[in-house]
């Protein structure tokens, strides 16, 4: 019963989660209308912001109720708290197995769409912002745990490439849910794309990114809720299976070659000048 005692000693943390979570649920989903569509605010976003505001590392003045002990304990709890959520998603996939099989080719190939980060982010990082090798780590992937592992293995996290991937990872951890809620809201209200395509793309990131993304989608297109959840869940499961390999064997080599062929030449030139 040590496990139980350990958790009960964390009563402050669990109590705070219940209270803030309940407040967030009571506020409910809010729509902010914009010219092109609407941005959806979800309870999970309020819960994150309110918890962050009680976090002593974010707001040192409020660090009375939640202490460093609770902060340290909260990190492994995220992983456990996301497990029932993943189980729930699994139960939406089974009944929709025919939809999934029908969408199979799209579901498999959209994993390659993840390379879109290279098309958009790499040029901005290297030519727009004149970043160095940080750009390699920052732009080759969506920077979730498997991708961190790839960079840690190849360059270490202390290298420039490591700085790049860690930066995007942390921004994803802090703001990923907001970014995905906004992306999904805008894409869905544009009314151009097949909702099934939008749903599959929701599975590309972490569990909480998927929650924000599908939450926004199902709110805009409630009639397709079951299909959206099933396709996003299936895509997310595929990402676990393929993400590591796609990053390691496709995305990272492409970004390295691009960098060496363009900005890398300048690096070498500057290095030679210095030597001379």
Partner 1 sequence: MSENAIAMERTRPNIDLTDHAVTLVIVCLVGLVMNTVGPAIPLADGFVGMVVIYLITMVGLLLTRFAPFYLPSVAWISLVGILATLPWTPGSEWIVAQAKSVNFLALATPALAYAGFAIAKKEIEVAKHSGWKLALVACLVFLGTYAGSVLVAELILRLQGA
| Residue 145 sits in the site that holds partner 1 (CB under 8 A) | yes
**Residue pair 225/79 in contact by the 8 Å Cβ criterion:** no
Site for partner 1 contains 164 (CB under 8 A) = yes
Cα separation, 203 vs 130, in Å, equals 31
Contacts to partner 1 from residues 76-135, by CB under 8 A: 76-78, 80-95, 97, 102-103, 105-107, 109-121, 124-125, 129, 131, 134-135
The correct pick among 17, 221, 224, 254 for binding partner 1 (CB under 8 A) is 17
Closest CA to 213 of 194, 227, 200: 200
Query: What span, in angstroms and rounded, lies between the C-alpha atoms of 158 and 268?
Result: 21
Q: Does 28 bind partner 1 (CB under 8 A)?
A: yes
Binding mask of the shown chain, residues 39 to 68, with x at each position contacting partner 1 by CB under 8 A:
---xxxx-xxxxxxxxx-xx-------x--
Between 173 and 260, CB nearer to partner 1: 173
Q: Does 171 bind partner 1 (CB under 8 A)?
A: yes
User: What count of other Cβ atoms lies within 10 Å of the Cβ of residue 169?
Assistant: 22
Check residue 161 for interaction with partner 1 (CB under 8 A): no
225-246 helix and 207-220 helix, angle to the nearest 10 degrees: 150
Under the binding rule (CB under 8 A), the answer on residue 264 touching partner 1 is no
DSSP code of 12?
H
CA nearest neighbour of 181 among 142, 155, 219: 219
Report yes or no: 3 and 80 within 8 Å, Cβ to Cβ. Answer: no
Interacting stretch for partner 1, rule CB under 8 A, among 30-38, 199-207, 252-260, 263-271? 199-207
Interaction between residue 253 and partner 1 (CB under 8 A): no
Residues in contact with partner 1, total (CB under 8 A)?
A: 134
- Answer for which of 39, 136, 166, 246 binds partner 1 (CB under 8 A) is 166
């Amino acid at each position: 019963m040590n496990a139980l005692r350990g958790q009960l000693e964390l009563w402050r943390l669990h109590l705070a989660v219940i209270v803030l979570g309940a407040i967030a649920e009571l506020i409910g989903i809010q729509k902010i209308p914009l010219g092109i569509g609407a941005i959806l605010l979800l309870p999970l976003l309020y819960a994150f912001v309110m918890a962050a505001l009680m976090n002593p590392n974010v707001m040192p003045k409020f660090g009375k109720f939640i202490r460093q002990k609770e902060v340290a304990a909260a990190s492994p709890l995220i992983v456990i708290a996301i497990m029932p959520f993943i189980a729930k998603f699994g139960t939406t996939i089974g009944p929709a197995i025919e939809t999934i099989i029908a969408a199979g080719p799209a579901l498999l190939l959209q994993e390659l769409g993840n390379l879109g980060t290279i098309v958009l982010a790499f040029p901005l990082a290297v030519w727009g912002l004149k970043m160095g090798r940080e750009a390699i780590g920052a732009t080759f992937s969506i920077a979730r745990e498997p991708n961190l592992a790839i960079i840690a293995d190849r360059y270490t996290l202390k290298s420039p490439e490591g700085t790049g991937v860690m930066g995007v990872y942390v921004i994803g951890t802090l703001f990923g849910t907001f970014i995905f809620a906004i992306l999904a809201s805008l894409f869905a209200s544009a009314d151009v794309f097949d909702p099934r395509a939008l749903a599959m793309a929701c599975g590309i990131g972490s569990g909480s990114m998927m929650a924000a993304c599908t939450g926004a989608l199902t709110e805009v297109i409630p009639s397709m809720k079951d299909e959206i959840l099933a396709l996003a869940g299936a895509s997310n499961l595929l990402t676990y299976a393929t993400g590591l390999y796609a990053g390691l064997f496709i995305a990272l080599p492409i970004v390295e070659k691009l960098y060496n062929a363009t900005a890398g030449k300048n690096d070498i030139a500057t290095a030679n000048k210095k030597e001379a």
